[in-house]
Amino acid sequence: QKEVEQNSGPLSVPEGAIASLNCTYSDRGSQSFFWYRQYSGKSPELIMFIYSNGDKEDGRFTAQLNKASQYVSLLIRDSQPSDSATYLCAVNPTSAGGYNKLIFGAGTRLAVHP
Amino acid sequence: ETGVTQTPRHLVMGMTNKKSLKCEQHLGHNAMYWYKQSAKKPLELMFVYSLEERVENNSVPSRFSPECPNSSHLFLHLHTLQPEDSALYLCASSRGTGGLDEQYFGPGTRLTVT
């Protein structure tokens, strides 16, 4: 059974701090990795994707991938109260086929307090 | 995100009713997806259509019946549902290019089965 694991939280950080969200996956052959943000009562919104080992930065967000450890993380710098949401990690276990069969973690709830 | 729309946004139905959920994407994508999101559970992939052909059916009960008449429209026909089917049903679409394919979600339909 292919699985994606996330700490459910809540992860509570003060405004301006760095929030670190972690995700592990079981399928060593996984090819690509996605982070979604989901506000309460809303649908998931894509933040970033990564497919190579190392870091990928986009504004205040940095995704980190370590395929050897089967670990992917999302760092949010200068956290704002508006970043308070549930963050979903999603893994594509294969690159075959003309579609993307994502496996989602249950999400980590982030709370940024002023 | 107006690229993927879903109707209705909220639906209450009895166990003997028949209803349909509609999804439309305006992004020129070739793959469309149905997901189920229940409280405190990961997003569950239900069906995938690639170029209007169903390519995934994740052991979904037959009381859920998908239909993809063209690459822009996706339906989920519902009949004789159970209370445990109450959930947020999300539609997503992607270009259909495989592993690095980003999925974009619609706003979802909140379904309550009474």
Q: Do A98 and B108 touch (CB under 8 A)?
A: no
Answer yes or no: do B104 and A46 touch at CB < 8 A. yes
Answer whether B2 touches A (CB < 8 Å).
Answer: no
**Per DSSP, what are the bridge partners of residue A65?**
A54, A72
**What is residue B100's predicted lDDT score, i.e. its pLDDT?**
73
> Across all residues in chain B, what is the average pLDDT?
91
The per-residue pLDDT for B99 is 65
How far apart are alpha carbons B5 and B24 in whole angstroms?
5
User: A29 at the B interface (CB within 8 A)?
Assistant: no
Query: pLDDT tens for residues A34-77?
Result: 999 999 989 999 999 999 999 999 999 999 999 999 999 999 99
Q: A30 and A93 in contact (C-beta within 8 Å)?
A: yes
User: Which residues on B lie below 8 Å from A9 (Cβ)?
Assistant: none
